[in-house]
Structure 1
Amino acid sequence: MEELAMSLFDGKPESLSEVVRRVKAGEQKFDPSLREFLDSFYSNVDSRQRAIEERPASIDALHDAYVAAVAEHLARVYGLPIPDWSETHGNGLREPFFAGGLQSLKGVLTAESPTAFRRRLLFVSKDALSRPRM
């Protein structure tokens, strides 16, 4: 069983910095890389702080805001120190972003979006960072 668990997460990004590095290098798209990071984060309790502490490089205003929101939100939910970099990284978004792109979802997303996302003009569902078997 241990071998299965180890092989399941081999090659997955273990930090937000690694997610960004992969995206910038063209190795992986942002969404799948972030999902794989979340799988790793939720499964590796002892390395959660390390997973969010290193300041990632910059991609663009939207993705930078999203990465900072993820770091802050995960830190708050799991009682970890909020990384200092998350306060200054990703503050360039000037227009609100609504996940899903549907006008009909704006009200729900505005109400549900966690604080770490809302304050960066990102509006996502309350379970935007959930993964199967969390």
Structure 2
Amino acid sequence: MTSLAEKVSVGILVVAGAAYAVLPNRVSRLLSPGTALIVDGVTWADANLPRPLFVSLIFLATTVVSLLIAMSFARVLYTVLKHAGPRTKRLFGFVTPSTPVGKVVLVLAVVVLFLLGSVWGIPYFFG
């Protein structure tokens, strides 16, 4: 069962993503104070921390945030699919493997692909 916090966080991410796709300038102006604060923090850490520690912290932060977002989306989407009716359940059962080993391999593949896709921002910080 998903918690209310997970449902709210996924809803906020979906609404923010849709709003950014429709009105990127307004959303950017709305988020600019928070973005500026994050950029200032990353700039300070880049200037004051040793490079290996800085890279490790950026990697750790993006990995943890990515995993939390992925887990929240997975739990909410699973709940939605579970209650969406027999056709969706049948499709979900058809797409996912039936054996425990197959499910573990599928989850590991999704996590690895998600993490590889989420660390694209690390080179951006180094120019």
TM-score normalised over the length of structure 1: 0.23
Higher relative contact order (CA 8 A, sep 6+): 2
- Greater Rg over alpha carbons, structure: 2
Which structure carries more helix by proportion? Answer: 2
> Under a length normalisation based on structure 2, what TM-score does the superposition of the two structures give?
0.24
